[in-house]
Amino acid sequence: MTFNELGLDHELLKAIETLGFVQPSPIQEKAIPVLLSGERDFVGLAQTGTGKTAAFGLPLLQQLDIFNPTVQGIILCPTRELCMQITKDLQVFAKYKGAVHIVPVYGGVSISNQIRDLKRGAHIVVATPGRLLDHIERGTIKLNTVRFAILDEADEMLNMGFQDDINDILSQTTKDKHVWLFSATMPKEVEQIARKYMNNPERITIGKVNATAENLEHQFCVVSAKDMNKVLARFIDYYPEMYGILFCRTKRDTQELANKLMKDGYNVDALHGDLSQQQRDTVMNRFRTRNIQMLIATDVAARGIDVNDVTHVLHLNLPDDSENYTHRSGRTARAGKSGISLVIINSRETGKLRSLEGRIGKKFKKVMVPTGKEICEKQLFSLIDSINNAEVDEAAVATYMHKVFTEFEKFSKEELIKRLISVEFNRYLKLYGKAPDLNLSDSGKNGDRRDKREGTQDRSEVSNELFINVGAMDVNDKSGFLAFLCDVSGVSGRDIGRINLKDSYSFFGVEDVEAANKIIKSLNGEEIEGRKIRVEFSGGAGSGNSGNSNNKGGGGFKSKGRGFDKSKQRSGGRDFNRSSGTKKNYSRGR
Ligand code: ADP
Ligand code: MG
């Protein structure tokens, strides 16, 4: 099957050719003809990295009426990064189509620039749900002309707590539009959206749902928690060609680990929601241009990132659910390339690993932490490789060669090679010459089986509602609140139930005691706007109904806390931030 046979018009085919796409991917082959007909709702399930953007982007572009300046297509996606990426991809596809206006709108940045862009006209709006709602409420985007509503990474959007927003948005579109939903996995929440907002959709599933790519190798390695940093350094040193993403659970872990590794001279950096938008862009650019070898990221921050040729995804902990794992590991082995997904666990987690194996239907291969000797050898051969493959700029070196030869005259060829090699190699010998073996058996040897949960409560004595002294004044709105909760505590948005957001405090439901305890443990003592976060089971002592007068009065806005002041950007294009520094503004006109 070729792109020509799918019914795409000349301008799009030309763009595809320029991109060097030779053959449509399976999801493209199946989806494009259906979507081009413009007659069906559509559910497309395919793993990450299988070309879903073009699968919906090309048919959407073909059906636009360029001379009609209204919004004809909206594309909803979970994060700012993805929003920008889809916009960029679509602009490339539309290159020969004349003036197609594709405007990205996402949270966490000033809304006025977006309003200006929208005023110039938009055929397609690519949006994160929260920010799209803002625009709808301000009247800067109208949905009544939308003919195609596309949900990309639907499962992720729901994971991040966008369910209400998506419902809101879809219910404001007209009856005769079509909904195209794309997802890597099909949890029941996605099915609900399909049932509620779609009309007898055509369903296409490529491969096994919830599966990970075929060319992805799953590995695990059992180490002692205290050796984690050393172990990571070893893997990086063992794979000189590694270009990877490492996932940590919390922002704090992410930053601390990055700091440690950077201090030891590794080319890594952290990506998480505590960084400003600009910092995040800088980190992502440095990663894309390979100035960073490894990105250390939280789940939320790295969601949906499409960077080519990532060789390794590393997990410093087991993700909470198999879908999360699928999404993380889907950052590698993209577009037919191969990749490694390596889980580094302690012996207590081996049981959890087995159950993950069952759910993704793949076996994890046990690998050992490279020994010092193995690393030295690997580095030596990598050095030889790079000497072999070095490009010599004859003209540039010519001027120095005479002097260089004179300097080295005294050495025999063998002696010279030895010295050349040693320049680099000594570093690794020094680091690893006497390094111990860091491998643990996975049988639980010296594993502390009991998980001591200090300060947490037993199921029997709790309600499943929590109180927190964080409210709309800190996080803007419910989706901001959710993103904040998930980002700081590492729990999944699905574990959070109903949210009752007040000005300076909130109540929220939690799915189970484990999630509740995790939130309590990770949030208590953190700071927001310069004051200490307090979170506890509601109904317990000081359930917070009495007004929390200590939070009022705006003092919190001025002090610079560690975490969440307004100058800092949150995760993935979600807007927890007030759009300006004044207190009244948190409601953004709602
Ligand atoms: P998904 O949304 O399914 O995760 P993307 O649409 O981001 O995947 O595509 C993944 C990568 O594959 C992108 O870099 C894209 O440019 C590339 N790609 C998409 N379609 C093709 C194709 N038909 N041939 C070659 N590469 C493709
Ligand atoms: Mg995609």
pTM over 0.75: no
**Inter-CA distances, 202 with 12, 173, 349, 461, Å:** 24, 20, 40, 48
d(Cα 74, Cα 321) in Å, to the nearest integer?
A: 30
d(Cα 392, Cα 427) in Å, to the nearest integer?
A: 25
Question: Cα-atom radius of gyration of the chain, to the nearest Å?
Answer: 26
CA of 173 to the centre of ligand 2 (A): 23
Nearest atom within ligand 1 for CA of residue 55: 6
Sheet containing 339-345: which strands, arranged edge to edge? 268-271, 294-298, 244-248, 312-315, 339-345, 216-222, 365-366
Residue with tokens 């189509």, as numbered in its chain: 97
Ligand nearest to the CA of 48: 1
Which residue, by CA, sits nearest to atom 14 of ligand 1?
A: 308
Please list the alpha-helical segments (H only) found in 43-186.
52-62, 80-93, 111-119, 129-138, 154-159, 163-171
Identify the structural domains of the chain with CATH numbers, from first to last: 3-205 (3.40.50.300), 216-371 (3.40.50.300), 373-432 (no CATH), 460-580 (3.30.70.330)
Which residue, by CA, sits nearest to atom 1 of ligand 1?
A: 49
Which residue, by CA, sits nearest to atom 9 of ligand 1?
A: 51
Residue with tokens 């006209």, as numbered in its chain: 121
Ligand 1 pocket, residues with Cβ under 6 angstroms: 21, 23-25, 28, 46, 48-54, 306, 308, 334-335
Ligand nearest to the CA of 77: 2
Instruction: Please answer whether residues 161 and 571 qualify as being in contact, where contact means their C-beta atoms are separated by less than 8 angstroms.
Output: no
Q: Which of 157, 218, 180 is nearest to 34 (CA)?
A: 180
Instruction: Please answer whether residues 93 and 54 qualify as being in contact, where contact means their C-beta atoms are separated by less than 8 angstroms.
Output: yes
Most informative mutation of 50, 81, 329, 332 for ligand 1 (most atoms within 8 A of CB): 50
CA of 421 to the centre of ligand 2 (A): 44
Most informative mutation of 16, 18, 25 for ligand 1 (most atoms within 8 A of CB): 25
The DSSP element (H or E) to which 244 belongs, if any, is: strand 244-248
**Tens-level pLDDT at each residue, the chain (590 residues):** 899 999 999 999 999 999 999 999 999 999 999 999 988 999 999 887 889 999 999 999 999 999 999 999 999 999 888 999 999 999 999 999 999 999 999 988 899 999 999 999 999 999 999 999 999 999 999 999 999 999 999 988 887 778 889 999 999 999 889 999 999 887 778 888 888 889 889 999 887 554 456 678 899 999 988 888 889 999 999 988 899 999 998 889 899 999 999 988 899 999 998 888 888 889 999 999 999 999 999 987 777 677 878 899 999 888 877 778 888 888 887 766 778 999 999 888 888 888 888 888 788 988 999 988 888 888 888 888 888 888 999 988 999 999 999 999 999 999 999 898 888 888 888 888 888 888 876 554 433 322 332 233 333 333 578 889 888 888 878 888 888 888 888 888 888 888 888 777 888 888 788 888 889 988 988 888 778 888 888 764 333 333 333 332 222 222 222 222 222 222 332 223 322 322 222 222 22
